[in-house]
C-alpha cells in the first residue's frame, strides 16, 4: 500500500487503491497512468457531487443542531462571509488617524501592512495566511482590525471541516 492511502479509512476498493498507486508509479506505462487518472478523476467528480448534495440537504445544519462539537473527524467551523476592509477604502487614504495607526502597525508587523506611496493598507492576503498559520502577531492584528472596525463581516455561517485521521502508531517491541 502506498503512502497515499495508508493513513485514514480504506477506500474499500482494491481498484481505487491500485489506481492511486499506479498513477504515481513512474514505472507504469503512460497508457495505464492515463487510465488511472481518468478513473480517479471521475470518482473525484462523483464524490464532489455527493458532498455538495449532502450540504444542500442540510448535513451542516443537522450536525450543528445535534452535535455542535462535531462527530469523529468532522467538526463545525464558523466562517465569515461578506468580509470588507473599510480601512483600505480610498476615503481612508487621507485619514490621518487611520494612516498614523497603520504606520505604527507597519513598524510592528511590516509583513501585514502594505506601504503604497501615499498611504498604508492592510495586506489582507498576507494577514489571512498568517492567521491561518497561527502567527500570534497576525492573530492579534486581526483581532485589533475587527475591534477598530477596520474589518467587517456580514455574518458567519457553519461549515464542515475534517481533521486528518492519523494512522495508529506501531508498538515497538
CA 25 to the chain's CA centroid: 29
- pLDDT band for position 163 (cuts 50, 70, 90): confident
- pLDDT band for position 151 (cuts 50, 70, 90): very high
Domain membership flag for residue 26: yes
Q: Is the pLDDT of residue 1 over 50?
A: no
Helix (H, G, I), strand (E, B) or coil at 164: coil
95 and 43 in one domain? no
Instruction: Quote the pLDDT of residue 7.
Output: 42
Q: Is the pLDDT of residue 8 over 50?
A: no
85 and 150 in one domain? yes
Domain extent for 50: 14-57
Helices and strands: H and E segment counts in the chain? 6, 4
Q: Is the pLDDT of residue 25 over 70?
A: yes
Name, in order, each residue with C-beta under 8 angstroms of 161's C-beta and a sequence gap of 6 or more.
Answer: 74, 75, 76, 77
Mean pLDDT across 111-134: 95
H-run or E-run covering 170: none
- pLDDT band for position 24 (cuts 50, 70, 90): very high
Helix (H, G, I), strand (E, B) or coil at 26: coil
Question: Residue 58 has which C-alpha cell?
Answer: 442540510
- pLDDT band for position 166 (cuts 50, 70, 90): confident
Question: Residue 78 has which C-alpha cell?
Answer: 464558523
86 and 41 in one domain? no
132 and 94 in one domain? yes
Instruction: Quote the pLDDT of residue 10.
Output: 55
Quote the mean pLDDT of the chain: 89
91 and 46 in one domain? no
Instruction: Quote the pLDDT of residue 135.
Output: 96
Domain membership flag for residue 88: yes
Q: Return the axis-axis angle of helices 59-66 and 30-56, rounded to nearest 10°.
A: 60
151 and 87 in one domain? yes
Percent of the chain at pLDDT > 90 equals 79
117 and 46 in one domain? no
Mean pLDDT across 146-158: 95
Amino acid at each position: 500500500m502506498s503512502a497515499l492511502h495508508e493513513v485514514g479509512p480504506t477506500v474499500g476498493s482494491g481498484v481505487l487503491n491500485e489506481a492511486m498507486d499506479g498513477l504515481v508509479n513512474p514505472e507504469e506505462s503512460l497508457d495505464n497512468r492515463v487510465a488511472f487518472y481518468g478513473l480517479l478523476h471521475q470518482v473525484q467528480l462523483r464524490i464532489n457531487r455527493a458532498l455538495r448534495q449532502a450540504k444542500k440537504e442540510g448535513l451542516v445544519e443537522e450536525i450543528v443542531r445535534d452535535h455542535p462539537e462535531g462527530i469523529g473527524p468532522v467538526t463545525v467551523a464558523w466562517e465569515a462571509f461578506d468580509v470588507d476592509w473599510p480601512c483600505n477604502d480610498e476615503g481612508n487614504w487621507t485619514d490621518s488617524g487611520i494612516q498614523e495607526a497603520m504606520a505604527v502597525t507597519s513598524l510592528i508587523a511590516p509583513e501585514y501592512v502594505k506601504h503604497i506611496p501615499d498611504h498604508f493598507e492592510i495586506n489582507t492576503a498576507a494577514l489571512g495566511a498568517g492567521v491561518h498559520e497561527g502567527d500570534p502577531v497576525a492573530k492579534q492584528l486581526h483581532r485589533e482590525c475587527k475591534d477598530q472596525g477596520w474589518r467587517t463581516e456580514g455574518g458567519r455561517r457553519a461549515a464542515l471541516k475534517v481533521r486528518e485521521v492519523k494512522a495508529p502508531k506501531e508498538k515497538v517491541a
